[in-house]
Structures are given as structure tokens and as C-alpha cells.
Amino acid sequence: MNQEISGLSSMATRPIVGELSEHIRLAHGIPVRFESAGGVEIARRVREGAEADLLVLADGALAALEKEGRLLGGTARPLWVSQVVAAVPEGAPVPALGSESDLRAVLLSARRIAYSTGPSGTSLIELITRLDLADTLGDRLVQAPPGVPAGSLLSSGRADLAFQQHSELMDLPGVVVIGPLPGDAAISSMFSGGVLAASTQPHRAREVLDLLGSDAASRIARGRGMRVIGGY
């Protein structure tokens, strides 16, 4: 019987690694199971010696762990790119978001703006600063706790505008995705994977990693709001 390949991933990639794990099990006969949490939490677990075979995180966080020797050399590779999108509560007017002027208007009209931890949240704050809105919007910004979708603050009434990875917002109840940020304001994040140095099945883990980034996975990736990075 095939031994299960275990993985750790950020919440942004939870929907896609879950669906791809099932696809790999059915199509290739390899049992795969991922545990997902906030990216900061996953990185902490890896540094504390978590037992797993694969790691999928935002590229910068994974690269830092690779430098620390937490990954097997030569296994780190880019997998998917995800765009940050804006969303509003279900039933609220859906504003235009076709230009940077539209984005400024949406931000200025919001009473409370939810954003996430991790790279997408950092990039949003940098964008707000570039738009010279940091002082104006400072008291309106609400950061979701690690591992909690920013969109959940919409459905609970704690925010009326949210920004997060598309994969994390697209299936949330009570949330309507407006769309990606326009033009030069667009924010995207790259997610990468690697075989953990602690893996007891490094060869099979590498095989699963290849399947996560394969052409066959591209349909699933698109359906989960991401695109596969080519060239592998």
C-alpha cells in the first residue's frame, strides 16, 4: 500500500492543494494530504521541526526556509500565481473597479477595509501608501487574524470592503468578488513548493511536487483562481 505523502501549505493555497491532492490520488494512485494554516504559522512549524514531506508557501517565505536548510536542495520551484481581488458583502452595491480612479473612490467610500496577513496584505498597505491614502485610511484598516479569511469580516459585518487572494474569497458565503485591482495597482503573489529536508519519502514527494505544477493541474488551478507557472 502506498504510504501517504503529507504536506503543509498556507491558507491561500488550501483550496487548490485540496483538489489537486484528490486528483493525484485518483489519477496516479498516490495518497496526498495537506494541512493548511496561516503562512506565518506554517513557517514557524517548519522551523520547529514539523514532520511532513512537502511545503507550499508564498515564494518569499519558502525561499527564506530554503536558505535556512529546511528544504532539500534543488527541489524548490514556483507553482502558481494568484491575484489579489476586492470584494464586498453580498447585497451591497458592486462598485466599478476598472481604473485607478475607481479604486481610489472605492477605498475612500469604505467605512472599514479588511485585509490579510502575509504578502497580499503587505502589498496592499504598500499600494495604499503609494496612492497617498495611508493617513486617510489608517483608522479604517482591519487586518484579519492569521489563517482567517479577510472576506469573513465582510459576512460578519466588521468590514464593507476586503482585499485578499482570489482563491480565499471566491467560495466564501456572503461575499461578492468585484475583481482584480486595475492596471498598475494590480497585486499578484507567487506560490512555490519544495520537498522538506525532514521528508522520509523525498523521491515520491518530488514526484507529487511535479504533479502539482503539471499541465494537467492547470485546469484545477484556473478553477481555483490561480494559474500554473509554465516552463516545468
CATH number at residue 136: 3.40.190.10
Q: What percent of the chain has pLDDT over 70?
A: 98
Q: What is the per-residue pLDDT for 189?
A: 87
Number of domains in the chain: 2
Boundary (domain end) residue, out of 185, 205, 220: 185
Residues 9 and 47 in one domain: yes
Is pLDDT above 60 for 1? no
Residues 73 and 100 in one domain: no
Q: What is the per-residue pLDDT for 109?
A: 96
Q: What percent of the chain has pLDDT over 90?
A: 74
Per the structure, the complete domain to which residue 140 belongs is given by 82-185
pLDDT (mean) for 208-214: 92
Q: What is the per-residue pLDDT for 230?
A: 59
pLDDT in tens, 21-52: 999 999 999 999 999 998 889 999 999 999 99
Residues 128 and 215 in one domain: no
pLDDT in tens, 154-202: 989 999 999 998 888 888 899 999 999 999 999 998 999 999 999 999 9
| 97 contacts: CB under 8 Å, gap ≥ 6 | 86, 103, 106, 178, 179, 181, 182
- pLDDT-based confidence at 231, cuts 50/70/90? very low
Cell of 152: 469573513
Q: What is the per-residue pLDDT for 228?
A: 79
pLDDT (mean) for 8-14: 90
Is pLDDT above 70 for 232? no
Q: In Å, what is the CA distance from 79 to each residue of 22, 56, 108, 139, 230?
A: 17, 9, 35, 36, 8
| 91 contacts: CB under 8 Å, gap ≥ 6 | none
Q: Let me know: does 36 contact 65? Beta carbons within 8 Å.
A: no
